[in-house]
Amino acid sequence: MQDFTLSQIITNLLLATRWTIALSAIAFIGGGIVGFIVMLMRISSNRLLRWPSMLYIELFEATPLIMQLFLVFFGISVVFGINLTTWTAAAISLTTYTSAFLADIWRGAVEAIPIGQWEASKALGFSYFRQLQKVILPQAVRASIPPTVGFAVQVIKGTSLASVIGFIELTRSASSISNVTFQPFLVYSMAAAIYFCLCFPLSLWSRRLESQFSYQ
Amino acid sequence: MGLSVCLMEYTPQFSVVWNNAGFFFQGVLLTLQIVITAIAFGLMLGVLGAVGRTSNNRLFRVVAGAYVEVFRNTPFLIQLFFFFFGLPSIGLTMSSGQAAILALAINFGAYSTEIIRAGVEGISKGQIEAGMSLGFKKLQIFRHVILMPALGAVYPALVSQVVIAVLFSSVVSQISAEELTFVGNYLQSRTFRSFEIYLTISLIYVAIVWFIKAIAYLIQRKFFAFTQYIQ
């Protein structure tokens, strides 16, 4: 067996970090698109649109991400007879998970817009989508940026759970390396340090945005 | 078309759930046990952390701040692996159940530190001075004028954090700590009915979350009813 030197451990962890970042990016972009649609359904006055979106948000927010991963990875392959790769399963679960939380965050931002803004733009003869596009969303976006950036931290940390279905990213590779080197203390500390370097700047940025927006 | 053909080939059999109902019930009890213990310790850590964060002593502020940032900016799974696999190599050995409770408590403590701190900072100085002029002792002021109103003000955020702790507790199955998700993995490996089992377990988590929200509402009405008078 080949001995791992410290620099090899670091290199391997950093190589695996690429997949953590890639999965986070997919989840965040995919989740943003799906989440936007769910948010539009959630703020709609049509019950047939609103209720399914409420159920969607509630179910994803009240079940553990690990269960969602298991259901997609094992459940879909059993029920539909499609064997998903760990990549697809991880991407699907993290996208749906992210979309539910982003939809909820953005709904909060839209609902915080005073009702007078809706009434005024309606009085000006705007159609529903023009109201959203020209009046409501531009204001809601400002309020929703800090929590959205903050949620990005949750997504990055959430990707660590994709390791349980065998997706090879930072946590999975830390486990493998620690099994080979018998140095769990060192390896997990380093993995934690890498996660910290990814997440902490985002946390700081989110907090700064929050204080900026709250004073304007 | 292809999908529907595949769908017909698979008939879900929830009998596997009824036949093992006892296992699921035990899993729920174990999950609640882990979560309640962890939250009890975590809340104490949170109060301590909030005291540290708002302290005049610079060292306390830095230590509490570092604690919060480290545990909020790393994944829970890594923290769990660190406690269970990493600490034994420096002589701290613990069972998977102990590691699970420790990791959950410390993680909950970090988040609740920030939540309680926000509440404490919302207490105006005038209130504390009013308490002093009424002849309250230091500890009485801390308890009646600072801590309880602060907890009352941030109570909804704390409840959300408790819900997150319940969902996070599923992760401890990864170090073979026995709880609901562990039961699911165990049954799945014996019966291969993954879809039925994981769907049932997900719905049980939803039920637990709703149950906790209902209890939280009752607690709020009983102990924090005064918050409606605080502006």
B5 has pLDDT over 70 = no
Q: Using an 8 Å Cβ cutoff, are A13 and A191 in contact? A: yes
Find residues 38-97 of chain A whose CB sits inside 8 Å of chain B. 58-59, 62-68, 70-71, 74-75, 78-82
Torsion angle, alpha carbons of B36, B41, B44, B49, to 10: -120
pLDDT in tens, A176-206: 999 999 899 999 999 999 999 999 999 999 9
**CA A38 distance to own-chain centroid:** 14
B85 at A interface, C-beta within 8 A: yes
Question: Does B9 contact A184 at a Cβ distance shorter than 8 Å?
Answer: no
Instruction: For chains A and B, count residue pairs whose Cβ atoms are closer than 8 Å.
Output: 134
Percent of chain A with pLDDT over 70: 98
Predicted-complex ipTM score:
0.92
Of the candidates B178, B208, B190, B173, the residue with the CA atom closest to the CA atom of residue B16: B190
Q: What is the mean pLDDT of chain B?
A: 91
Residues 6+ apart with CB under 8 A from B148: none
Instruction: Please give the Cα distance from B100 to B103 (Å, whole number).
Output: 5
pLDDT in tens, A4-44: 788 999 999 999 999 999 999 999 999 999 999 999 999 99
B84 has pLDDT over 90 = yes
Chain position carrying tokens 């979350």: B209
Instruction: Please give the Cα distance from A14 to A46 (Å, whole number).
Output: 48
pLDDT score recorded for residue A215: 60
Instruction: Please give the Cα distance from B99 to B46 (Å, whole number).
Output: 19
Q: Using an 8 Å Cβ cutoff, are B197 and B187 in contact? A: yes
Domain B25-229 fold: MetI-like fold (1.10.3720)
Q: How confident is the model at residue B231 (pLDDT cuts 50, 70, 90)?
A: low
Find chain A residues with C-beta within 8 A of B6's C-beta. Answer: 79-82
Q: Measured between CB atoms, which of B90, B195, B201 is closest to A79? A: B195
Q: How confident is the model at residue B18 (pLDDT cuts 50, 70, 90)?
A: confident
A1 has pLDDT over 60 = no
Q: Which helix (H) or strand (E) holds A89?
A: helix A86-111
Q: How confident is the model at residue B230 (pLDDT cuts 50, 70, 90)?
A: low
In 3-state terms, what secondary structure has residue B15?
Answer: helix
Percent of chain B with pLDDT over 70: 94
- For the domain spanning A6-214, the CATH number is 1.10.3720.10
Q: How confident is the model at residue A110 (pLDDT cuts 50, 70, 90)?
A: very high
Q: How confident is the model at residue B1 (pLDDT cuts 50, 70, 90)?
A: very low
Residues 6+ apart with CB under 8 A from B110: B45, B49, B67, B68, B70, B71, B72
